[in-house]
Structures are given as structure tokens and as C-alpha cells.
């Protein structure tokens, strides 16, 4: 496993808020850097802004090449000129989440110690919530002089942020599109996250979370965490179609049943997962992974309201479009229906669409024409109702 330490000296477009922000845990975090990217042009009336919220392992590079990997932006097929989130018409903002490792304040950020020295926060970084992430994004939106967003859009953990935006700042969100998400993190998903975290803790190079002192990273543990999580993003049909039981045959070796090493041959799906793991450790920080997965686990819109998920949206005037995918077993359609019913109970303006797809949870990142039409139609309708040309 490649144990190279990911670059930390990259320069990201960001704003520093010296006053910081209060966190749900009671800690006041200051200063706070918010790294972001923008696409398109903000209208003179500042009324055409859309915030796109990224998922667990995403970042602000939604539509341009990633500075570490060189790969296209994670939603470059969705955000751009003439695309469903049309930057010829809309001004798109995407922030790296609080706790992240691409320029926004997180565990890898420096803190000043009592003796005046600096070191990374590491595992001393305070626990954060999805609401804290949204608070940080609101600082940036306010800084840009935007008083109301045309829309907030996001999938998976990004969808959790969308819901938190609509619940915490309803007057600032005209339209909300939570995609492949849920109003709470299920016990099953918390369990998957815990397995991933334990893989990191078990890595000998974890060093109690202070791995930078040894010039190492828990690469193997972080890679296993990514591999395990990636399985949950795909459906059985997608894995079968892409890999089946095909085996990678190396020159000079026999088939899968040939004598020799027990693991002398590798199934295609094994090779794929190992590749996902090895490339992930080059761009992500283990402590950020721990921090963000825990924030997802804490997410529960009804927790402060005796389990009533409709209460946070009482009196809302935000327009909602909830999207799920038929083969998504990580955030199944049943959870989207719970959300839709909760919004119906407070007479919210809500539509719900289940997209037929066999691609699993990751379908929202892939080529799905019906999904593309849904996003384009909802945003164009929102713009029309908001009086935006």
C-alpha cells in the first residue's frame, strides 16, 4: 500500500472567518477557513445562486479537475454550461465541508497551542454535526452578499446538508433537492461506518491519530475503510454487470483453480476495490474520515423533537423535490418516503421521484437520463416561480 503523505500545501480558494462559529458540541471554533469553488456568474440581483453540497468523500471541486488526482470534477456531468445545473444561467457554489481536508478547517488544519507552537488538530478536533457544516457554508453565503439561495442540491451526505439548510435557514432557501439521502442515519449505516473506523484504528501506522509525527499515514486502514464503504455504494446488479466472477490472469499462471498461492489470482472485483482504496489514501485524511463519518451518524432531524421529523419544517415555504433510486440499499426509497410524508404533514410544497436504476447508491453520480431531466426540470421550475429570467 502506498504510504505517501497526501499534499497539504495546496492553495485553495477560501475565506477565513476570524470570529469562527459555535458548534453543536458547545465548542467555539475559531478561526474558520471555508474553501470553495464557484461556477457561472452571480446575477446583479444576487438571486440565481445554487449551493451544491458534496458527499462524504467529495470536495469543492464539483466541476473542474481535481488538483490532487487530475480527474474531472465529481459532478462535471451535471454542473456546467447547458447541463442540468446550468452555469450559463445559475451561479453555483460548492464548499469543502467543515472537518474536511481540502482547505476548509478540519483535523489536518493547524491550531495554536498554549506555548505558541502550532500542530494539526488531529483527533482533538471537536466533534461536528451536519448542522455545523451548514453553519460554515452560511458564513460564506453571507460573505458573498447572498440573502436567499435559489436552491440547495446534494446527494447522500450532501442531501443531509440540503435538509439541514432547509430546516435551519428556511428563509434563505427557495428550493431544496435532497437526493439519495435520509432524514436520519440508520443503524445499518452507523454499523458500516464503525467497521470503517475500526479498520483505521487497527492500522499500526494510526499512532493514536498523531501519525503526522511519524511521517506516516494509516494508509492500509484508510484504504480498507474506503473499500468497505464503496461496496455499499453499488448494487449487486451493478457489481455483477461490471465484474461478474471474472479473474485477472497473470502471464505464466494458471486459472483461478490452479495450484500455488491461495491468493495467486485476483478476481476483477477485488482488483477494483484495491484500486479504489489505494487512490483514495492519496487525497483524503484519515482523521477527516473519522470526523465526517461521525457527523453523519449523529444526523437525525427528529432527535430534538421527540422523533417528529416534520417539526423542523413547520411553516416552511421552501419547495422540495426528493429523489431516490430503486436499487439504492444504502439510502433506500423507504427512507425518502418517510421524509416526503413528514413534509406532507406540515403542508410543504413537496414532490417525490423514484428513479428506476440498477446502479445502486452511486446512481446520482452516473449517467441517468431520467435523473438529469428531473434536476433540470425542478431547477427551471424553481427559477420561474422565483421570477428569475
Are 289 and 171 within 8 A, CB to CB?
no
Q: Which three cell numbers stand for residue 278?
A: 489505494
Q: Right CATH number for 190-292 from 1.10.1740.110, 1.10.3210.50, 1.10.357.10, 3.40.50.2300? A: 1.10.1740.110
DSSP class of 197? H
115 is in an annotated binding site: no
pTM of the model: 0.94
Active site residue 328: yes
Active site residue 14: no
Q: What is the pLDDT of residues 90-141, one digit of tens each?
A: 999 999 999 999 999 999 999 988 888 999 999 999 999 999 999 999 999 9
pLDDT at 222: 97
Strand ranges, E, within the chain: 14-17, 21-22, 28-29, 32-39, 49-53, 79-80, 85-86, 91-95, 110-112, 118-120, 149-155, 173-179, 247-248, 266-267, 319-325, 349-355
Per-residue pLDDT band at 261 (split at 50, 70, 90): low
Q: Which of 156, 182, 324, 336 is catalytic?
A: 156
226 is in an annotated binding site: yes
Q: Is the pLDDT of residue 255 over 80?
A: no
d(CA 82, CA 198): 44
Are 27 and 18 within 8 A, CB to CB?
no
Q: What is the pLDDT of residues 137-171, one digit of tens each?
A: 999 999 999 999 999 999 999 999 999 999 999 99
Q: Is the pLDDT of residue 247 over 50?
A: yes
Q: Indicate the SS3 state at residue 312.
A: helix
Per-residue pLDDT band at 248 (split at 50, 70, 90): confident
**Residue among 60, 53, 55 at smallest CA distance from 36:** 60
pLDDT at 389: 74
pLDDT at 279: 92
Domain range annotation of the chain: 14-189+300-386, 190-292
Active site residue 156: yes
pLDDT at 196: 97
Per-residue pLDDT band at 260 (split at 50, 70, 90): low
Q: Which of 14, 54, 328, 336 is catalytic?
A: 328
Q: What is the pLDDT of residues 275-309, one digit of tens each?
A: 999 999 999 999 999 999 999 999 999 999 999 99
Distance from chain centroid for Cα 288 = 12
Q: What is the pLDDT of residues 317-373, one digit of tens each?
A: 999 999 999 999 999 999 999 999 999 999 999 999 999 999 999 999 999 999 999
Q: Is the pLDDT of residue 5 over 50?
A: no
Domain 14-189+300-386 has CATH 3.40.50.1820: yes
Q: What is the pLDDT of residues 168-227, one digit of tens each?
A: 999 999 999 999 999 999 999 999 999 999 999 999 999 999 999 999 999 999 999 999
Per-residue pLDDT band at 1 (split at 50, 70, 90): very low
Per-residue pLDDT band at 3 (split at 50, 70, 90): very low
Q: What is the pLDDT of residues 30-63, one digit of tens each?
A: 999 999 999 999 999 999 999 999 999 999 999 9
Amino acid at each position: 500500500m502506498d504510504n505517501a503523505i497526501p499534499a497539504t500545501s495546496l492553495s485553495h480558494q477560501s475565506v477565513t472567518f476570524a470570529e469562527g462559529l459555535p458548534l453543536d458540541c458547545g465548542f467555539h471554533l475559531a478561526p474558520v477557513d471555508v474553501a470553495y469553488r464557484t461556477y457561472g456568474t452571480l446575477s446583479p440581483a444576487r438571486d440565481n445562486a445554487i449551493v451544491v453540497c458534496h458527499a462524504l468523500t467529495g470536495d469543492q471541486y464539483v466541476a473542474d479537475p481535481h488538483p490532487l488526482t487530475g480527474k474531472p470534477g465529481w459532478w462535471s456531468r451535471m454542473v456546467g454550461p447547458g447541463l442540468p445545473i446550468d452555469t450559463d444561467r445559475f451561479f453555483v457554489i460548492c464548499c469543502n465541508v467543515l472537518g474536511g481536508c481540502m482547505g476548509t478547517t478540519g483535523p489536518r488544519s493547524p491550531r495554536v497551542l498554549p506555548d505558541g507552537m502550532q500542530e494539526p488538530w488531529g483527533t482533538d478536533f471537536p466533534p461536528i454535526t451536519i448542522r455545523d457544516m451548514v453553519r460554515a457554508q452560511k458564513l460564506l453565503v453571507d460573505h458573498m452578499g447572498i440573502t436567499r439561495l435559489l436552491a440547495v442540491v446534494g446527494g447522500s451526505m450532501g442531501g443531509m446538508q440540503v435538509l439541514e439548510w432547509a430546516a435551519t435557514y428556511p428563509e434563505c432557501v427557495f428550493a431544496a433537492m435532497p437526493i439519495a439521502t435520509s432524514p436520519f442515519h440508520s443503524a445499518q449505516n452507523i454499523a458500516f461506518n464503525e467497521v470503517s473506523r475500526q479498520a483505521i484504528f487497527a492500522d499500526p501506522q494510526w499512532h493514536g491519530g498523531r501519525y503526522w509525527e511519524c511521517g506516516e499515514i494509516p494508509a492500509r486502514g484508510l484504504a480498507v475503510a474506503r473499500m468497505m464503504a464503496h461496496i455499499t455504494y453499488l448494487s449487486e446488479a451493478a457489481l455483477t454487470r461490471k465484474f461478474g466472477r471474472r479473474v485477472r490472469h497473470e502471464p505464466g499462471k494458471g486459472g483461478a483453480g490452479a495450484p500455488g498461492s491461495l491468493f495467486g489470482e485476483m478476481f476483477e472485483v477485488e482488483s477494483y476495490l484495491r484500486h479504489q482504496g489505494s487512490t483514495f489514501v492519496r487525497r483524503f485524511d484519515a482523521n477527516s474520515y473519522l470526523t465526517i463519518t461521525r457527523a453523519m451518524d449523529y444526523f437525525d432531524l427528529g432527535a430534538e423533537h421527540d422523533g417528529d421529523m416534520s417539526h423542523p419544517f413547520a411553516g416552511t415555504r421552501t419547495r422540495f423535490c426528493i429523489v431516490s433510486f430503486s436499487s439504492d440499499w444504502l439510502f433506500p426509497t423507504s427512507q425518502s418516503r418517510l421524509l416526503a410524508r413528514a413534509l406532507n404533514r406540515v403542508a410543504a410544497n413537496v414532490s417525490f421521484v423514484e428513479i428506476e436504476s440498477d446502479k445502486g447508491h452511486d446512481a446520482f453520480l452516473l449517467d441517468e437520463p431520467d435523473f438529469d431531466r428531473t434536476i433540470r426540470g425542478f431547477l427551471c421550475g424553481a427559477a420561474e416561480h422565483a421570477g428569475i429570467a
